[in-house]
Structure 1
Amino acid sequence: MKKKMNVEDSVGSVLAYDLTKIVPGEFKGAAFRKGHIIRPEDVEAMKKMGKYHIYAIELGEDEMHENEASQFIAERVTGDGISFTEPNEGKVSLVSKHRGVLKINVEALEEVNDIDMVIFSTMHNNSLVEEGTTVAGTRIIPLTIKSEYLEKLRDLEEKYGKIIEVVPLEKLNCGIVVTGTEVFEGLITDKFGPVLEQKIRELGGNYLETRFSRDDVESIKTELDYFLKNGADLVLVSGGMSVDADDVTPIAIRETVDEVVSYGSPVLPGAMFMMGYRGDATVLGIPACGMFHRITVLDLVLPRVFIGEKMSRRDISKLGHGGLCLGCKVCTYPVCPFGK
């Protein structure tokens, strides 16, 4: 039970929650912590913060304080690759333990937020995050909450398991096949391979080599087989993905893999993208946009490949929501709507 008190009458009382002090541009944090025994000298300081009344509280057996409640929520939802902070001003932050891809059960997240007086906020699902990134935060709205509300979280945990985790990147063996007779014959210098090599290295992949092929189905298949028979986990095939007469890369990929997940993606740039699997290996056909645009469908898919996720046609279809790059003059990806 909480009791509202005039701050001048509160000396000797136990503060039931953190009191936040804000100095614009300098400081925002707890000036007085929950559990603090109010002293005479505190009264003037609280008034300067605009706190003329405070809450002292006596918890009933069926009540939980905001700090304990936020920690309880975090314990119910947090999976592998994430730690959580001590409660601060009623909030607990979830922090990534390592670099990886943030995976969230969005349906379960919505059910958590359907619980009255409980909030759980996250970054977007499938975000690539660095070690130490705050990926989520949780708290309750009031100062205290009836335990019966939080018990619903136990039911959700039993139904879904942990609903948020950070899956670490794997060190994949990656090869590149650059198609184009004009490149193969040395008429022009390849500019595509280095772009793809950089993306592999940025994700910590083991870059094998770049091989070149004419715009010929059998030649492309030969280079794909070379990598796949020599332990490649991922092969990126650049160019020749459109409907031009010389563009035969999709045919070669289709005849090489066991399963074509998708030819075409609802992402711009990246419409002519192709994905397939042979055994556990992934083959990606990258359209020419991947050479000219800094960010394309490849940047949405590649981190998920690097955590060993085997994407489905439905996964590709879902990329259409948020799949339109706005082509900003100054690119701020991933801090933008693309892929969200």
Structure 2
Amino acid sequence: MEIRQLPVAQAVGHILVHHQTGPDGRKVLKKGRVLTGDDVAVLQSLGREAVVVAVLAEDDLPENEAARRLAGVVAGPHLVASKPVGGRVNFFADTPGLLKVNIDGLLAFNDHDGITLATRLHNTVLTPKMQAATLKIIPYAIPRSAVEAAAGTARQFAPLVTVRPFTRRRVVLLTTGSEQARESVVNGFTPALSARMARYGAALVQGPHTTEDVSAIADAIHQAAAQAAEMVIIAGETSIMDRDDIVPQAIRAAGGVVEHFGVPAEPGNLLLLAYLGDLPIVGAPGCARSKKFNVVDRVLPRLVAGERLTRRDLLALGHGGLLRGEDGLEG
């Protein structure tokens, strides 16, 4: 494709590069249109003698065709592509889930000149019809070879973007503390956690309240597992303060393994993650009471989506782990 300034009479069949305005300042011809004989008459009536146009080479693909072809290879399951308009295709989630982005692949794809793919952040929670990404062809046309090369990169890293649906539906909340604190603990944690689970398509089920006792908490974990819990959250009158505190002792007594305690995120340093077989158990920090964005918003959706997070996954939260001021559930 070449950008040329041509006499108006020679511009028919070429793409208008810039908006054209009339004497009143309003647009009479919009950029990006293929000029017709009628358009030439309009330009001549405005006193234009020459106009800047894009002249396509024989092997060029128009922007919308290039966008359409690439849209078919960049997106994985559960993403719906819009019709290409102005060289742009938008992608929308068709199910609740987590956006998964191949970050290295995205960088390699965007390294192809004239082709761009912008996404929301990796692990963003998506709801149906929420936009996840946008593909834009920058010029009005692009060589077929460039499109084929970008498509090859997309296939190499496939999928560049996809949605991992939420799969865990039953999440049991166990609360601990004194009997006098039962109502405060239950009412303190339930509303915000219930709202989060609803966003992920899961239900928060109220489990038993126990004293801070190893055997009692271990029994409550076994009870939750026996009642088909797909994830357990333990929230207490006081947050877990040490890897050998009562709750982690109880998890080990129940046969579970503590994956990690103490994460590089604020609010939420005191989060614990453990597993009883394949059953994830989260020791909730006090900030889980809040609807404001905090560490549980980085951890819970990934667990509900069926990921088995590791110690390394939690350590990686340190990059971007200062979460104060992030948007939460409010509003």
Find the aligned partners of 1:51 and 1:235 in 2 and give their Cα distance: 74
Please tell me whether the aligned partners of residues 210 and 217 of structure 2 are also in contact (alpha carbons under 8 angstroms): yes
Displacement of 1:163 after TM fit? 1.3
Range with greater deviation from structure 2 (293-302 or 229-238): 293-302
Range with greater deviation from structure 2 (216-225 or 64-73): 64-73
Match of 2:42 in 1: 43
Unpaired segments ≥5 residues, structure 1: 336-340
Displacement of 1:319 after TM fit? 1.3
- Look up the SS of the partner of 1:73 in the other structure: helix
Match of 2:76 in 1: 79
TM-score, length basis structure 1: 0.81
- Look up the SS of the partner of 2:318 in the other structure: coil
1:1-340 to 2 correspondences below 5 Å: 1-2=1-2, 4-6=4-6, 8-10=8-10, 13-16=12-15, 31=30, 34-35=33-34, 37-40=36-39, 43-44=42-43, 53-61=51-59, 63-183=60-180, 190-239=187-236, 240-243=238-241, 247-256=245-254, 258-292=256-290, 294-326=292-324, 328=325, 332-333=327-328
- Look up the SS of the partner of 2:308 in the other structure: coil
Find the aligned partners of 2:329 and 2:87 in 1 and give their Cα distance: 29
Find the aligned partners of 2:273 and 2:243 in 1 and give their Cα distance: 21
Please tell me whether the aligned partners of residues 241 and 249 of structure 1 are also in contact (alpha carbons under 8 angstroms): no
Find the aligned partners of 2:260 and 2:214 in 1 and give their Cα distance: 19
The amino acid that maps onto 1:59 is A
Find the aligned partners of 2:30 and 2:170 in 1 and give their Cα distance: 52
CA spacing shift, 1:40–1:160, aligned 2, 3 Å:
closer
The amino acid that maps onto 2:122 is N
Please tell me whether the aligned partners of residues 215 and 247 of structure 1 are also in contact (alpha carbons under 8 angstroms): no
Match of 1:338 in 2: none
Range with greater deviation from structure 2 (82-91 or 256-265): 256-265
Please tell me whether the aligned partners of residues 123 and 135 of structure 1 are also in contact (alpha carbons under 8 angstroms): yes
Find the aligned partners of 1:162 and 1:196 in 2 and give their Cα distance: 32
Displacement of 1:127 after TM fit? 0.5
Range with greater deviation from structure 2 (229-238 or 171-180): 171-180
Displacement of 1:110 after TM fit? 1.0
CA spacing shift, 1:297–1:17, aligned 2, 3 Å:
farther
Please tell me whether the aligned partners of residues 108 and 160 of structure 1 are also in contact (alpha carbons under 8 angstroms): yes
TM-score, length basis structure 2: 0.83
- Look up the SS of the partner of 1:193 in the other structure: helix
Find the aligned partners of 1:307 and 1:46 in 2 and give their Cα distance: 61
CA spacing shift, 1:313–1:238, aligned 2, 3 Å:
same
Aligned residues: 324
* Percent identity (aligned): 25
Find the aligned partners of 1:46 and 1:279 in 2 and give their Cα distance: 78
The amino acid that maps onto 1:325 is L
Unpaired segments ≥5 residues, structure 2: none
